[in-house]
Amino acid sequence: MIFLQENKALIAKRAGETLRIEPWGPDALRVRAFMYDDASSRDWALTEIPAASDSRITIGEEDFWVGDGTISKTPCAEIVNGRIRATVNFAGVLSFYRDGSLILREYFRFYGGTLAKTSRCLKIVNREWKGIIGASDYQLTVRFDPNEGEKIYGMGQYQQPCLNLKGSMLELAQRNSQISVPFMVSSLGYGFLWNNPAVGRVTFAANQTEWIARATKQMDYWITAGDGPKDILEKYTAVTGRAPMFPENLMGLWQCKLRYRTQDEVLEVARKYREEGIHIDQIVIDFFHWTVQGDWKFDKTYWPDPKAMIDELHAMGIRVIVSVWPSVDRRSENFGPMMERGLLIRTERGAAQTYDYQGDCVEIDPFNPETRKYIWEVCKRNYADLGIDGFWLDNSEPDYGVYDFENYRYCEGPALTCSNLYPQMFSRAFFEPMSEGANEAPVNLLRCGWAGSQKYGNVIWSGDVPSTFESFREQLQAGLNIGLAGIPWWTTDIGGFMTDDVNDPDFRQLLIRWYQFAVYSAVLRMHGDRGPYNIPPLDERDWGGGYLHTGQPNELWSYGEENYRIMRKFYDIRIALHDYIAGLYKEAHETGAPLIRTMFFEFPEDGKCWELQDQYMFGSRYLVAPVLYLNQFEREVYLPAGEWKNINTGEKLQGGKTVAVKAPIDEIPVFEKM
């Protein structure tokens, strides 16, 4: 092993590999490695200029047990930046320390470890570069020793019941309702970003942690030490970006359904809300308001004068957002020009098709700046110039017909090397031109994101999830973990997306419980595909805005008088919280803190809070305990130390204990920290 110092960076070379470790913000290090070729210039998620920091580098020797009972000297080195220290031994094995305590060490089981304490004849190395036949890329595997008792959080959004991810295997790939944001927060006081958009996998097993990139040229990760989750997240978002200031006139109710088929339906709903004395901040026009996918324009048959519709909605103080998909049907007027100019995803073999829902489609390649320019020019002409305020960038993973990532290629390279960045590039096609000369940040709705997506005005929702209590419980874990991965603007379809029968009393109970939860989250948004499907299509064509089915009504009054009363009650609660919510959005902008927070985010010294996953903090003041089971009308709530007030009864309680709380259908247990 050869060690060098290059300005503030420590360089280590061995067996064709170059390892580079350098300070990257306070108490943080960026670690990169590559084989033979020069390092990539891509910073991926690390887009922000890090705050000034320094390093202390020492190159020396350490004792090495030879095997016959003798000790020899071998080269070693260390780099220190504030509270974090990294050491590298003669075999290139990295160890990281926070305030002198070991927090992470690479897994190395090969004869000849430091003092041979971890030596084995297994021939398993810490960084494994496996060449891909016929390509210049490698499959990269990076291994770390496990830490007994460690808890791991963040990593984006996965549809599973686990909040603590220790013991989980997570696919590093984007799918409908799965969002890979590869940043983890450890209970040991460090944060770790896998700064690589390649498709792969991470396993946080009891015997080792293993990160895999299926095709890449470079290892790249960032690690920081902190006092707790707040400090760690603040440091992470300082180098990856923070959400803009959220517009105050979007903090109330967003109205949506599958799907408003005509401009008359949209106006009818908006007028009814006005008559009821309920202000909706934004109304969403969902998919197939267009002619075919990729035309990105209103079907004039059912939307004859969209500008007049938008003007009337604006006069009511309602913003308008429309659905835009990245899929381009072969029948679209844009398919030929985009295919000819190389603006669509390429397939490596077989037919040129990437998506097959309601058409034979190929999706756009947003890695290509010409693609981003093309789609924005079309959407500006057909939507923004009419007054449309924002875009619902659906299917933004993208939603492939088959998730065979090795069969797709972007102008950036093979999908295996970079596909996780796709939703972020799609969002930038709209955010960047919309930001030019704007008085406030654009707000667009997306179904996916990656590390750093928070800085591009993305409200991310949890995807097309089932309308079940099981799914509801999973959304809570998803929302808490994606917040710890730096994405504060997160929401769900209230009641879930897929409903067979809106008249089912069990579904209506779920809807109410989900709605109550949504009131105490970042975005209150009504949406869902509501069965039964007994509403006939508007015409018999196999294209255009009239042929596809629509769901049942999904407005607040659509579920009976008693449910309307409850939703109206909680709507009023949401409006009363406006100033508080505005403060939370400001905090997210300034520090990266999520709006919905794990209990340990606010109470890191309370060991009980690290075990809880069925209650959360809405900001620092309100403890929220959603009702997560059918026919549950009482539940236990843990109150950390201090004084708490039950906002439903006014009762004041001392914390440090678990209490039983009544939860009738028109109440959700919420406690205010006094």
So where are the chain's domains?
2-240, 250-324+378-396+426-586, 598-673
Domain 598-673 CATH superfamily: Golgi alpha-mannosidase II (2.60.40.1180)
- pLDDT recorded at residue 508: 98
Report, at the CATH architecture level, how domain 250-324+378-396+426-586 is classified: Alpha-Beta Barrel (3.20)
Question: DSSP 3-state assignment of 231?
Answer: helix
The 8-class DSSP code of residue 132 comes to P
Q: With contact defined as beta carbons under 8 Å apart, do 301 and 379 qualify?
A: no
The CA distance from 85 to 77, in Å, is: 11
DSSP 411-446: TTEEHHHHGGGHHHHHHHHHHHHHHTT-SS---EEE
Residue 236: in which H helix or E strand, if any? Answer: helix 229-240
- Residue found by looking up tokens 């293993």 in the block: 210
Q: With contact defined as beta carbons under 8 Å apart, do 126 and 108 qualify?
A: yes
Beta bridge partners, 169, equal 203
Q: With contact defined as beta carbons under 8 Å apart, do 26 and 51 qualify?
A: yes
Question: DSSP 3-state assignment of 568?
Answer: helix
For strands 319-324 and 390-393, give the pairing.
Answer: parallel
Catalytic residues: 394, 397, 464
The CA distance from 106 to 147, in Å, is: 11
Q: With contact defined as beta carbons under 8 Å apart, do 459 and 142 qualify?
A: no
- pLDDT recorded at residue 115: 43
- pLDDT recorded at residue 544: 85
- pLDDT recorded at residue 112: 53
Per-residue burial over 56-84, b if 16 or more Cβ lie within 10 Å, else e, is ebebeeeebbeeeeeeeeebbbbbbbbbb
- pLDDT recorded at residue 318: 98
The CA distance from 182 to 222, in Å, is: 11
Domain 2-240 has CATH 3.60.21.70: no
Instruction: Tell me the whole-structure pTM to 2 decimals.
Output: 0.97
> In CATH terms, are 250-324+378-396+426-586 and 598-673 the same topology?
no
Q: In whole angstroms, how large is the CA radius of gyration of the chain?
A: 26
Q: What is the pLDDT of residues 3-51, one digit of tens each?
A: 999 999 999 999 999 999 999 999 999 999 999 977 778 999 999 999 9
- pLDDT recorded at residue 89: 94
- pLDDT recorded at residue 545: 85
Helices and strands (H and E) in the chain: how many = 12, 41
Which residues, 6 or more positions from 579, have their beta carbon under 8 angstroms from its beta carbon?
none
Which residues, 6 or more positions from 504, have their beta carbon under 8 angstroms from its beta carbon?
none
Q: Is 4 exposed, middle or buried (CB count within 10 Å of its CB: 0-12, 13-18, 19+)?
A: middle
Residue ranges in the chain whose pLDDT is less than 50: 113-116
